[in-house]
Structure 1
Amino acid sequence: MPDSSLKAVLDPKSIAIIGASDNPNKIGGRPLVYLSRFGYRGKVYPINPKRTETLGYKTYPALRDLPETPEVAIVAVPGDAALAAVDECADLGVKAVVLMSSGFGESDPVGGKEKERRMVERVRAKGTRIIGPNSQGLANFGTGAILSFSTMYLEAEPADGPVAVLSQSGAMAVVPYGLMRQRGIGVRHSHATGNDCDVTVSELAAAVVEDPEVKLLLLYLESIPDPENLAEVARIARERDLPVIALKSGRTAAGQAAASSHTGALANEDRVVDAFLEHHGIWRVRDTAGLVDAAELYLKGWRPKGRRLVAISNSGAVCVMSADAASMAGMPMAKLADETRAELGRILPSFATTTNPIDITAALLTNSRLFGDILPVIAKDPAADAFVIGVPVAGVGYDVDAFARDTATFAALTGKPLVVAAPQPNVMARFKAEGLPVFTTETQAVDALNQYISHLELMNRAKTHRADAPFVAKPRDRASASSTPVMLNEADSLALAQSHGLPVVAHRLCRSAEECVEALQAIGGPVAVKGCSADIAHKSELGLVRLGLNTPEEVTDAWHGMERIIRDSGKRFDGVIVAAMRKGRREMIIGAHRDPVFGPVVMVGDGGKYVEALPDLRLLLPPFSADEVAEALARLRIAPVLGGVRGEPPMDLAALSEAVAAVGRLMMDPAAKIVSLDLNPVLVGSAGEGCAIVDAVIFRESANDTMGNK
């Protein structure tokens, strides 16, 4: 449940503005203007010792002079005065402070962050929460509680609506807001949390997402220091069937450096962020446009059953480009039934196209009823899951109003997603007036449709998989990830993997040449012989791997040679591993590590010696099932090869998926104390032949770290 202080900051009964100004264009004056203009019904207490009235409000010299303790206070004074004001708020029992003042961690990553830490420590002990510092403020247009100094609310007139925007950045709290208002979409929440020294954007979002009027949540993130709170946002959103779209900046090294200097927060490793958001059903977009482009589709409440598309246009070129866009997006063009095509043929002129995409041709100019006549026919065909209507040229001579009405009726009749591409502003306006999502080009329309459908699919997968297994990042994950791990030798690594149900190749650890001969006789040749040392991770470079040995003399010679190499290098000599030679159709890799923020992360992908040069990998965050692994494998570039090509049988992806799922369980086992794991190669045979781990490197917490984490 969200902190009661956060509920108060979203809907406060009383607000104090410390540093109130009579200039409506200053930080201490703008919130007073907004609270008056946008219908706030609570009590407002400006504080400024130099005046008795500010912008029509009675003004008080100090917080202690107020007739009551306000629920929330805005702090809009600089430097040490801001710290003193925050401390006074805590002393008097103010529930939450919106700290707009700057000069903290965003400008001084060391001293500024330490100043933030001490401030939070003092006020949290007294029950007060801090939004900020360096916060542009919060705005709830449902209650009129506009605790913000953003100019955007003067430029784009507010209207309460179903969208919430939360951001660590002030600009990115209001830019999506402005774009939504340009589209005529109302926004209820627009919040900027700034440096997140106490209340993070994710924690505030967990309170916002419980607002029953919110139907779409947009997030801008520069870091995710508290994945447990974002996981809670996702959990509540799944229960409410509420889509969450996130723009996480810092995809590149340059972007991560900029994010760190902007908010004073550490950037997260990008591939892990992708995996985390996917795990929880949150759709990640690349830019600001991605946050808003498909908004109208989300708000329609459509629930498509598939991805098959039907395109209709009065332009053959638009038909072709719609088909291209659909193909690029992975949306197959629906095959219409023969009876549908026959009926369309009786309506359309002979030179029109009745296959999908459907080209009405320029005949629409002379017969405006063509559009309305064919739509009911298409509506009866069950093949389509979604529609794109392209109207590249219309206007004088065309009954555009009828086109728009007929399209709206058609959308209501089918109950399926529908987008319109219309580049002419006057044509676009008429379709918008009917409540239809309209885009300038067919590619934009199809891309928005694809995002919407793909996001619903992601949400459904997350709802299915996460029902009984919510993700929670544990403090010990963060402690162990920053510790100095200890590497196990290969024999111990293989033994640990095998004890947790992983398919390890038959092998023996031998501590003498005689034991090597016995292992050869027990396992049967040919065998692989590998030097074993807890000090050596990469053996082949040192000549510590010999393959295809068949005789006692060969394994004896390998023993002596490897013992000499390891001892001469000054490393620990733990013996020699004699292992069965296994064949496989493909070398795969399974890896895992304990991320300092997100906890256990498991990797699966194409393996072998080129894994770093030609990476083809997917990341998963435990807990996950073998079915989820199979879904991840299907998204690898080599997926067609794994499935069997040119007459080859499919590979044993079921066995590989079970092995990856076992690694996920192993990484979640607190007794295993694993920091990282590398299984490469994992040999995968044809379906039914299983897979085998032939090499393993595992790092565990050291004994000292383990004691510290108890």
Structure 2
Amino acid sequence: MTSDLRAALDPSSIAIIGASENPNKIGGRPIDYLKRFGFRGEVYPVNPKRTEVQGLRSVPRLADLDAAPEMAVVAVPGDDAIRALDECGEMGVKVAVLMSSGFGEMDPVGGKAKERMMTERARARGMRIVGPNTQGLANFGTGAIASFSSMFIEVEPKDGPVGIVSQSGAMSVVPWGLLRARGIGVRHAHATGNDADVTACELAMAVAADPGVELLLLYLESIRDPHHLAEAARIARKRGVPIVALKSGRTGAGQSAAKSHTGALANEDRVVSAFLEQHGIWRAEDNAGLVEAAELYLKGSRPSGRRIVVVSNSGATCVMGADAAVAHDLSLAPLSDGTQAKLRAILPAFAATANPIDITAALLTNSSLFGQILPVVAEDPAADAVFVGIPVSGRAYDVEAFARDTARFAQETGKPVVLAAPQRLVADAFEAKGIPVFTGESAAMRVLHQFIAHHELIARAAARDEKQEPIDPPAGESRLLDEAESLARLAAAGVPVVPHRLCRSAEEAVEAARAFGGPVAVKGCSSGIAHKTELGLVHLGLADEAAVAAAFAACEAAIAAAEAPFAGVLVAPMTKGRRELVLGAHRDPVFGPVILVGDGGRYVEAMPDVRLLLPPFTREDVRAALGSLRLAPLLDGVRGEPPLALDPYLDAAAAIGRLMSEPGSRIDSIDVNPILVGARSEDCVALDAVVVERD
């Protein structure tokens, strides 16, 4: 646990500044919770108008206490809150939970300035601030409930293996309530508010290190300290703790709402997704996605692949289960001949045994069928996970035996198992045995996909497992390199580029075309122009000397008309290939270098089919990213075409990742479009490039 945040999660004593006798007020509810939920430390109400608050001795000022509490809850408004923070710092408080509002979330200029001032003064005195505008912190493992959430009254708390860290107060307890409704205990439910000092990402590091936490859920509206989140993910991976994050603000409207909510700064959404994937964090779509796989995570299963076996007593459920599996990128491989022979010896002759397995209505007369067939299924290579569907059952069925046998199978094999059962009678029996239950096939398969794909992400992140430090972007004015300089910079880094010559006269251009011996491309070269086609600076397929000379003159005139510096023209042989791809990079102000891979050509902006990667990454990471795109089937060859030779492209992407990440790199952005690929490794060449760097 981060040493200076121990007092945030496990304080030995807590003062409440602005303490109220009324347990339904912000200054009263923490006192009520601390007494109600078993906090063993000292509680010190601070209220200048009362000598006793909720049965506890109250003092007029914090300084009237004999010793400094480790934590102070500040529940007074405006400037009184600022003065209270100063008193806390002078007294030696380690963590102040600032519930007061009216700071950066209301005033992005003056309010944020106050937050910076409070943070600087607190840190100078060795104190950390959670908030302002926070609902508070709640640790049900210790009873340290420094929160005013009403949810803890509405739903009975229970300590458990889940931790929740949120920038939003509501979203620190909404998933808490959803989990508690499913009988899952939650240890941590923390809200950091405006993140003026302690951020949700930093607090996540401390929660991830708690030995009692087995699953960590995050709600984020902005990420301004990704190195803390990366470290939280690294800590969690080492402990085997999955992290699921709901990052809101995917749209412009959502980002605007976030600014007015917690004063958050919007992060570019595609970069956020790439960052979370890089560090093995599953990104949920909504509240349901944040919690719906919790039971499966907490079972401790470790999936070995994406092959699913569907088992049901209904042919229709078998069909719908198969459809749902494929829709969620899972596969149903046929069971081996040996497995099917064993199943036929158990099941009626009219049962289906290939996968899906249709037990049929024979289940009604033989309640042991689940117990007999599941061990057989477990031995088959096609059974990475099992889906059980029981659409209809009742008192004539031994549902308890079904649940008992399925639970024993899950426990003994460690394979992920989910159930789809709309009937409450069936669901209750299986839930009591610890089997994750869903009402339909699609929901069950969606969760299986999340669970399996998430563990694949975690494994890839663990293979890299590099500690991420904060990245300082290069200073200075940005400068656009002309195409000749850009290609030279990329070639030096290991990116294959088209053969070319920079020519400063028509005669040099004609001589270059003659040397290349065939149709050539002639392109105007200027450090003041990034996009050449729109200005008529690209001339293709020139086969005679007169055309080359005319193209030189046209480029020189067009660049002069644009009032840009003229560096000459590039002459390059026309090159053939099968597919135009793109490679790009830019330096995100928060996340650092971001690399773009995917389909290229002139329509890349109109019909984007690309993925983002954050260094460090491997060639296989690039291959996997391409495999997730719409163009993926074309990479393997279609209609008799040979596969594309991707290895040089993968190497080029890795080279650009290194170029952007190397210490002292001053490159701001790279645009290589197109980079041509074909069926042979030598067919991969960058035809055009734009590099922007800092002086």
2:42 aligns with 43
Query: Which residue in 2 is equivalent to 1:122?
Result: 121
Q: Distance in 2 between matches of 1:547 and 1:379?
A: 61
For residues 35 and 257 of structure 2, what CA distance do their matches in structure 1 show?
37
Displacement, 1:367?
A: 3.0
Quote the Cα distance in structure 1 between the aligned partners of 2:379 and 2:670. Answer: 55
Which segment drifts farther, 252-261 or 536-545?
Answer: 536-545
- Residue identity in the other structure for 1:692: V
**Further displaced range: 421-430 or 336-345:** 336-345
From 495, 511, 536, the counterpart of 2:529: 536
Contact 2:309 2:355 in 1 (8 A): yes
Aligned to 1:423: 422
- What is the CA–CA distance in structure 2 between the aligned matches of 1:322 and 1:460, rounded to whole Å? 27
Aligned partner letter, 1:581: M
Quote the Cα distance in structure 1 between the aligned partners of 2:86 and 2:611: 47
Give the Cα separation in 1 of the matches to 2:665 and 2:273: 26
How far apart in 1 are the matches of 2:480 and 2:672? 14
| Aligned-residue offset at 1:671 | 4.2
- Counterparts of 2:364 and 2:273 in 1: how far apart (Å)? 48
Q: 2:584 touches 2:596 (CA, 8 Å); kept in 1? A: yes
SS in 1 for 2:409: helix
CA distance in 2, matches of 1:84, 1:235: 38
May I ask how many residue pairs the two structures share in their alignment? 695
Q: Mean Cα displacement is larger for which, 600-609 or 485-494?
A: 485-494
8 Å CA contact 1:100–1:135 kept in 2: the answer is: yes
Q: Deviations over 1:3-31 (max 9, x none)?
A: x2311111111110000001011111111
CA contact (8 A) 1:386 1:417 kept: yes
Alignment of 1:55-134 (within 5 A): 55-134=54-133
1:551 is aligned to 544
Q: Does 1:358 align with 2:351?
A: no
- 2:571 matched to which residue of 1? 578
Counterparts of 1:402-551 in structure 2, within 5 Å, are: 402-464=401-463, 466-467=464-465, 469-476=466-473, 480=475, 484-551=477-544
Alpha carbons of structure 1 residues 39 and 671: separation in structure 2 relative to 1, 3 Å: closer
Correspondence list, 1:330-369, <5 A: 330-369=329-368
1:80-137 C-alpha deviation (Å, 9 max, x unpaired): 1111101111111111100001111111222211111111122211111100001000
> 2:611 aligned with 1:618, yes or no?
yes
Find the counterpart in structure 1 of residue 598 from structure 2: 605
How far does the alpha carbon of each residue in 1:526-566 deviate from its partner, in whole angstroms, 9 at most, with x for none? 21111111111121222211112233333222222221222
Q: TM-score, normalised by structure 2?
A: 0.98
Runs of 5+ unmatched residues, structure 1: 704-710
Distance 1:367 1:226 in 2: 58
In the TM superposition, what are the counterparts of 1:377-416 in structure 2 within 5 Å?
377-416=376-415
Residue in 1 that maps onto 2:635: 642
Cα–Cα, structure 1 residues 369 and 235, in superposed 2: closer, same or farther, change >3 Å?
closer
Residue 583 of structure 2: SS of its match in structure 1? strand
Code of the residue aligned with 1:12 in structure 2: it is P
- Segment drifting more, 577-586 vs 343-352: 343-352
1:322 maps to 321
Matches of 2:379 and 2:503, distance apart in 1: 72
Counterpart of 1:15, as a letter, is I
Alignment match, 2:191:
192
Which secondary structure does the structure 2 equivalent of 1:362 belong to? Answer: helix
Q: Is contact 2:473–2:587 with CA below 8 Å preserved after alignment?
A: no
Q: Distance in 2 between matches of 1:560 and 1:380?
A: 74
- Report the CA distance between 1:185 and its aligned residue: 1.1
Query: Match for residue 211 of structure 1?
Result: 210
The separation in 2 between residues aligned to 1:161 and 1:269, in whole angstroms, is 35
Deviation at 1:39, TM superposition (A): 1.2
Matched with 1:628 is: 621
Q: Contact (CA 8 Å) 1:237, 1:243: kept in 2 or not?
A: yes
Consecutive aligned runs of 4 or more in structure 1 exceeding 6 Å deviation: none
Q: Which moved more, 1:204-213 or 1:509-518?
A: 509-518
Contact persistence 1:649–1:687 (CA under 8 A): no
Q: Distance between the aligned counterparts of 1:688 and 1:9, measured in 2?
A: 56
Q: What amino acid does structure 2 have at the position aligned with 1:45?
A: Y
The answer to whether the Cα contact below 8 Å between 1:650 and 1:687 also exists between their aligned partners in 2 is: no
- Aligned mates of 1:211, 1:370 — CA distance in 2: 42
Sequence identity, in percent?
64
1:150 equivalent to 2:149? Answer yes
Q: 1:422-462 CA distances to partner (integer Å, 9 max, x unpaired)? A: 11112211111111111111221111111111100110011
Measure, in 2, the Cα distance between the counterparts of 1:429 and 1:391: 13
Q: Deviations over 1:218-260 (max 9, x none)?
A: 0000000111111111111122121111000011111111111
Match of 2:265, as an amino acid? L
SS at 2:360 equivalent: coil
How does 1:252-291 map onto structure 2 within 5 Å? Answer: 252-291=251-290
Instruction: Give the structure-1-normalised TM-score.
Output: 0.96
Which secondary structure does the structure 1 equivalent of 2:332 belong to?
coil
Of the structure 1 ranges 67-76 and 301-310, higher mean CA displacement relative to structure 2 is found in: 301-310
Preserved contact between residue 48 and residue 60 of structure 1 (Cα < 8 Å): yes
Name the CA distance, whole Å, in 1 between partners of 2:537 and 2:161. Answer: 64
Q: 2:577, 2:683 within 8 Å by CA — same for their partners in 1?
A: no
Correspondence for 1:304: 303
Distance of aligned partners of 1:472 and 1:584 in 2 relative to their CA distance in 1, 3 Å threshold: farther
Q: CA RMSD in A?
A: 1.4
CA distance in 2, matches of 1:19, 1:445: 48
